[in-house]
């Protein structure tokens, strides 16, 4: 069976020095290889094809047959790596906080251990009749999150 770490190392070596990075590598039964590729500048089909062709050349089909799928993480896929959080600073995200529900806000900072999101909600301010928008920053430890997903926005800029 083809080793997952071997495929990961080949992909990382190919991408080294560029803007692309490996999010996930899986090798399932029958040597079905699945790679999620992301890029700081946006993942394109051409980048996925280039990595796929490189791996096809590096892996020996005569020794072990395999299938290979290189794709980008879909919009429904949660963020898995610090680099993905960094890439998405300034975008709206939804967090699933372990045992505390969901929160939506703008990702404004990310470290290896935590993220900071800015929430915005209308609240009644004491002494005023109308509600006003209130923005607050909240820090969440990554270990306290079940997942973080980027929210799709169709707002005009």
19: CATH: 3.30.300.20
Predicted confidence at residue 156, as pLDDT, reads: 65
Give yes or no: residues 146 and 121 share one domain. yes
* Any domain includes 157: no
Phi first, then psi: give them for residue 121, nearest 5 degrees.
-150, 155
- Final residue before a domain boundary, out of 71, 90, 119: 71
Give yes or no: residues 62 and 87 share one domain. no
Nearest to 141 by CA among 118, 111, 120: 111
Q: Where are the alpha helices (DSSP H) in the chain?
A: 4-15, 45-58, 82-87
How far apart (Å, rounded) are the C-alpha atoms in residues 69 and 36?
9
| Integer-rounded Cα radius of gyration of the chain | 20
Report residues of the chain scoring pLDDT below 50. Answer: none
Give yes or no: residues 131 and 105 share one domain. yes
Give yes or no: residues 88 and 54 share one domain. no
Predicted confidence at residue 103, as pLDDT, reads: 96
Predicted confidence at residue 125, as pLDDT, reads: 81
How far apart (Å, rounded) are the C-alpha atoms in residues 118 and 80?
20
Nearest to 21 by CA among 33, 38, 5, 9: 38
Dihedral sign, CA of 72, 77, 78, 80? Answer: negative
Give yes or no: residues 86 and 146 share one domain. yes
Predicted confidence at residue 157, as pLDDT, reads: 58
Predicted confidence at residue 74, as pLDDT, reads: 87
Predicted confidence at residue 16, as pLDDT, reads: 96
Q: With the CA atoms of 100, 106, 111 and 115 taken in that order, what torsion angle do they form, in degrees rounded to the nearest 10? A: -10
- Final residue before a domain boundary, out of 71, 92, 114: 71
Residues 6+ apart with CB under 8 A from 136: 118, 119
Give yes or no: residues 51 and 9 share one domain. yes
Residues 6+ apart with CB under 8 A from 138: 103, 105, 116, 117, 118, 119
Predicted confidence at residue 76, as pLDDT, reads: 86
Domain total in the chain = 2
Residue count (the chain)? 157
Predicted confidence at residue 128, as pLDDT, reads: 81
pTM for the full model? 0.84
Domain boundaries, position 131: 82-150
How far apart (Å, rounded) are the C-alpha atoms in residues 78 and 150?
8
């Amino acid at each position: 069976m083809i080793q997952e770490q071997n495929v990961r190392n080949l992909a990382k070596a190919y991408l080294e020095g560029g803007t692309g990075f490996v999010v996930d590598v899986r090798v399932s039964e029958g040597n079905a290889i699945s790679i999620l590729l992301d890029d700081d500048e946006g993942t394109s089909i051409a980048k996925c094809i280039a990595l796929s062709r490189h791996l096809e050349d590096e892996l020996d089909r005569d020794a072990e047959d395999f299938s290979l799928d290189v794709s980008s993480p879909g919009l429904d896929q949660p963020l898995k790596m610090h680099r993905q959080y960094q890439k998405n600073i300034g975008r709206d995200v939804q967090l699933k906080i372990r045992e505390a529900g969901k929160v939506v806000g703008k990702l404004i900072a990310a470290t290896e251990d935590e993220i900071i999101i800015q929430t915005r909600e209308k609240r009644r301010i004491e002494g005023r009749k109308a509600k006003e928008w209130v923005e607050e920053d909240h820090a969440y430890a990554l270990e306290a999150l079940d997942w973080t997903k980027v929210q799709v926005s169709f707002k005009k800029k």
